[in-house]
Amino acid sequence: MTDPRATYLDWNATAPVLPEVAAAMAEALARCGNPSSVHRWGRATRRAVEEARLDVAALVGAAPQDILFTSGGTEANQTALRGFDRRVLVSAIEHDSVRAVPGATVIPVTGDGQVDLGALDRMLAAETRPALVSIMLANNETGVIQPVAEAARIAKKHGALFHSDAVQAAGRLPLSTAALGADLLTLSAHKIGGPQGVGALVVRPDLDLAPLIAGGGQERGRRAGTENVAGIVGFGIAARQAARHIDNQARIARLRDEAERRLLALAPDAQVFGAPVPRVANTLCLSMPRVPAATQIMALDLAGVMVSAGAACSSGKLRRSPVLEAMGVAEADADCAIRISLGWSTEAADIDHLVEAWGALYQRTRAKAA
């Protein structure tokens, strides 16, 4: 019999929309006015957009004019990496929207899932052509925190621009473009309780960024098209609430660590990926040996527990994780890895439910193999 309980542990894919975000968006949708119009309704809509821009800028310690609103993290990443006439270097564990940039050179990572800074230094030194380096702040599959500030210093030493995809770090780590050394930084609303379909690229003010979408003067000429006003308003409210999420990370880390301890106690042959190095508090990537990820996800879903296999941004496809492959994880282990990600509403009962459902599946598979 299917367990009627519902436990959501796929927060790295998307977070629930905060009630205050939904309320602000409903109010924005009830208003009429194009933010480019100069009449009173247009000006009121423009004010709502600019207030949100202030809130998003405050999240990362930037100036509001540095914020370029986009349709999400993917567009922000593509804008950053295609906006300059430079060779592009990206880490092997980046999101698909970064690794998919044509002609990008791949920076290797260690077995723990952190970028190889020595390799980055050598790769930049090997060619004098101006470069742009992209290294994410927190990995979406393993949660591993990357040495971004150190990587940015290496990039600057070689005259390179530095971009960081901070989508999974927002609301989980304090963010400062200055402290990170980032010339460009990617954010996404739906990871912090905002709506899907809106993101931002933080751009150093003196950079001449070529627009990815041309044809209008919106966003200071850097992104054409009428702004997604309701989405931007929701993004602003979510950014304003992000400090509350950060304050909750210690509690979330305790829950994640408890889940990790109990699952490993049930399955001593299971592996946790990225555990030896710093991770964001909410993420656990582990394998159930000899049980494919798809089987685990379906069995857990039937038991009312929602998790994912690696990134959830590939049109619902289940495929071997390029992140684990880059870390040197054996194919058989990578094929059996799932991602469990917690959030601000996760409670101890959710961990109990996960452990019960995952443990029951583990015992069934071992009984069949005996």
Catalytic sites, residue numbers = 313
Torsion on CA atoms 234, 250, 349, 237, rounded to nearest 10:
-10
- Residue 73 Cα distances to 23, 79, 157, 234, angstroms: 23, 10, 27, 15
Which candidate, 257, 266, 242, places its Cα nearest to that of 356?
266
CA atoms of 47 and 151, how far apart (whole Å): 37
Phi-psi region of 113 (alpha: psi -120 to 50; beta: other; left: phi over 0): left
Strand runs labelled E in 153-270: 161-165, 184-188, 199-203
Strand runs labelled E in the chain: 7-8, 67-70, 87-91, 105-107, 131-134, 161-165, 184-188, 199-203, 271-272, 283-287, 305-306, 337-341
Helix axes 249-266, 229-247, angle to 10 degrees: 70
By CB atoms closer than 10 A (0-12, 13-18, 19+), residue 162 is buried
Q: How is the beta sheet containing 271-272 ordered, strand by strand?
A: 271-272, 283-287, 337-341
The C-alpha angle with vertex 201 and arms to 199 and 207, in degrees rounded to 5, equals 165
